[in-house]
Amino acid sequence: MTSNATPEGVRARVRELLAAHDPAALEPLDFLRARFDAGLAWVHFPEGLGGLGAPRALQAVVDAELAAAGAPDNDPRRIGIGLGMAAPTILRYGTEEQKHRFLRPLWTGEEVWCQLFSEPGAGSDLAGLRTRAVREDGGGDGGGDWIVDGQKVWTSSAHNARWAILIARTDPDVPKHQGITYFVCDMTDPGVEVRPLRQITGEAEFNEVFLTGVRIPDAHRLGAVGEGWRVAQTTLMNERVAIGGSALPREGGMIAPVAAAWRERPGLRTPELHDRLLTLWVEAEVARLGAERVRQQLAVGAPGPEGSGLKLAFARLNQQISGLEVELLGEEGLRYGDWTMVRPQTVDFYGRDAGYRYLRAKGNSIEGGTSEVLRNIVAERVLGLPAEPRIDKDVAWKDLPR
């Protein structure tokens, strides 16, 4: 165990893996399975579950060694929800059986995950959700399967997903945060209907999901009945931690295409645009350094509150930078590549034009918690200022005005 916790130790493990499994000779999926079984998928996970129980920071060492050896990677663009949100929640709250069933195909990308959290009436106020899960045979410990009815929305990857993490109301007679339970939902169940939602960009990147009499076995419940809100906090907090994984290069991200256009197209340059470009370049670099500082804090096991602010910073910057890019391009900015409704596997900010980036970035201050909600969180949890006055705290969910 001790040797696993050092860079030399994990490098030795990588060498063993490569000696036994030649990435050039194997199908990528076979190599990824071998990598998982060698504990090199996510080194901070326990042994037997794709990890070594090693410090999270050593993952970068593993990734670099394997990339240098030309080994295939799992595709984070396709399996991000599983990696970033489902996996840490399953690890923390799942039974041994659940961990062994779900984690390996999740990590290799064989099984895509989506997240059935938000509802038409429960976005920022997520705990107000009304999708019901009722236990067959009258509930209680002796009951059977859960029957789920309701509607979810803004679900990325639902059209590709094999599994979903789902929160549903199991007790309407208690305050809203207490009556929620967390499940794993089989997206191939006949009661699951996925419909594309066309967006401001023209494409249908996410979906609405209708759940009608969906049968979920109790063995697919994560955590205790009524504890779903607490389990969901793990899901949501882990997404933030995932930021620690990637160190961006300077001028990575949204500023890159604008800077490239400036360099390649002298005819677009004006003094006013120059100062705005440099101002945003500086702010993007400062935001990058802020994210890097959070990453370094996590790597030494001392997470600070700064992570709470990163999404706020990037949402604002992405919108300003993409807006500047459209202006900079002038007449070309008046053109839009394609309004055809397509259903992309993922959001590709850089595969499309500036107009797409501008429109899609508008979502950055809404998705995954609006900037307004995030400011409240920073003010209350980081700065210690009083919480918003609430009328819903001690009222049974069924009695809330709606």
Catalytic residue annotation = 239
Strand pairing partners for 257? none
Q: Give the nearest distance from C-beta 377 to another protein in angstroms.
A: 7
Does position 287 interact with another protein (CB under 8 A)? The reply is: yes
**Number of neighbours of residue 350 by Cβ within 10 angstroms:** 11
Which of 110, 193, 239, 332 is close enough to bind another protein by CB under 8 A? 239
Stretch that binds another protein, among 38-46, 110-118, 176-184, 219-227 (CB under 8 A): 110-118
- Judged by CB, which is closer to another protein: 170, or 207? 207
- Judged by CB, which is closer to another protein: 16, or 275? 275
Contact string 6-45 vs another protein (x = CB under 8 A): ----------------------------------------
Q: How far is CA 14 from CA 4, 36, 76, 120, in A?
A: 11, 11, 20, 46
Residue-by-residue DSSP string for 287-305: HHHHHHHHHHHHHTT---T
Q: Give the nearest distance from C-beta 4 to another protein in angstroms.
A: 24
- Judged by CB, which is closer to another protein: 274, or 335? 274
Does position 47 interact with another protein (CB under 8 A)? The reply is: no
Q: How far is CA 362 from CA 52, 167, 311, 350, 367, in A?
A: 40, 27, 13, 15, 9
- Judged by CB, which is closer to another protein: 184, or 255? 255
Stretch that binds another protein, among 18-26, 186-194, 237-245, 390-398 (CB under 8 A): 237-245
Does position 142 interact with another protein (CB under 8 A)? The reply is: no
DSSP tag of 224:
S
Q: Rounded to 5 degrees, what are φ and ψ at 164?
A: -135, 145
Does position 249 interact with another protein (CB under 8 A)? The reply is: yes
Does position 253 interact with another protein (CB under 8 A)? The reply is: yes
Inter-residue contact 14 to 71 (CB < 8 Å)? no
Which of 26, 149, 349, 396 is close enough to bind another protein by CB under 8 A? 349
Site for another protein in 352-381 (CB under 8 A): 357, 360-361, 363-364, 366-369, 372-380
CB-based burial label for 243 (10 Å; 0-12, 13-18, 19+): middle
Inter-residue contact 133 to 183 (CB < 8 Å)? yes
Query: In this structure, what token pair is assigned to residue 288?
Result: 């990058």
Q: Give the nearest distance from C-beta 290 to another protein in angstroms.
A: 4
Stretch that binds another protein, among 41-49, 173-181, 308-316, 328-336 (CB under 8 A): 308-316
Which of 42, 314, 358, 397 is close enough to bind another protein by CB under 8 A? 314
Which residues 6+ apart lie within 8 Å of 301 measured at CB? 55
Does position 250 interact with another protein (CB under 8 A)? The reply is: yes
Residues 39-44: contacts with CB under 8 Å, at least 24 apart: 39/4, 39/13, 40/10, 40/13, 40/14, 40/66, 41/74, 41/107, 42/87, 42/107, 43/4, 43/10
- Judged by CB, which is closer to another protein: 3, or 270? 270
Q: How far is CA 268 from CA 265, 273, 281, in A?
A: 6, 9, 17
Q: Give the nearest distance from C-beta 195 to another protein in angstroms.
A: 15
Q: Give the nearest distance from C-beta 70 to another protein in angstroms.
A: 13
Does position 131 interact with another protein (CB under 8 A)? The reply is: no
Which of 125, 136, 173, 275 is close enough to bind another protein by CB under 8 A? 275
Which of 227, 285, 353, 392 is close enough to bind another protein by CB under 8 A? 285
According to DSSP, the β-strands at 206-216 and 221-222 are: unpaired
**CA–CA dist 161, 206 (Å, integer):** 12
Which of 183, 318, 354, 358 is close enough to bind another protein by CB under 8 A? 318
Site for another protein in 161-200 (CB under 8 A): none
Which of 278, 341, 342, 400 is close enough to bind another protein by CB under 8 A? 278
Name the residue among 181, 191, 187 with its Cα closest to residue 214. 191
Which of 170, 311, 358, 397 is close enough to bind another protein by CB under 8 A? 311
Does position 84 interact with another protein (CB under 8 A)? The reply is: yes
Inter-residue contact 222 to 180 (CB < 8 Å)? no
Three-state DSSP string of 383-394: CCCCCCCCCCCC
**CA–CA dist 30, 20 (Å, integer):** 12
